[in-house]
Amino acid sequence: MTADFAVADNTPLNHAIYAPKGYVHTRDPFLFEAENVVRQTPDILTASALASLLATSERTLHRRLKALVGESPKTFITRVRMETARVLLEKKASSVKRIAQQSGYADESSFRRAFTRYMGMNPNAYRRWLEQRGGHGIRMKLVHADEGI
């Protein structure tokens, strides 16, 4: 587990591979709820739908996300879904098509494009990369809003 935090790869990769940003910011109750809504909504999710599910306006959602994580609602939704996909890709039993569905993508090809754009490699390359690292993915403890880090 220590190796996951003290990674020394000789191939320069996108920093998002090493530390999913969203898991660090779960201390804020609004952000914690927003991430859970995105993770548990398998359908296509728009900013207006997310705002509605959080019982807030689109403008307030945009303002709060910008203040908390510096992202627009669309970027936030994409990031959380990519983090979900990364965790699912660590499990060998799931196909990329199934992971796409579980991550909220209507079809596998749009998921593959989004994953490649976000991670800098396609889902299968990400799995190969994990295998080269000894099969250890990114394991992080989720911190409840009341707990310290």
3-state secondary structure of 118: helix
Has residue 17 got a pLDDT over 80?
no
Does this model's pTM top 0.75?
Answer: no
Q: What is the pLDDT of residues 68-126, one digit of tens each?
A: 999 999 999 999 999 989 988 887 678 999 999 888 888 899 999 999 999 999 999 99
- 116 is a domain residue: yes
Amino acid at 109: S
Q: Work out whether the CA dihedral 40, 43, 45, 49 comes out positive or negative.
A: negative
Structurally, how many domains does the chain consist of?
A: 1
Amino acid at 105: Y
CATH code for the domain in which residue 65 is found: 1.10.10.60
- 139 is a domain residue: no
Q: DSSP E strands: which ranges in the chain?
A: none
Q: What band does 142 get if pLDDT is binned at 50, 70 and 90?
A: very low
Domain that holds residue 29: 2-6+22-132
- 138 is a domain residue: no
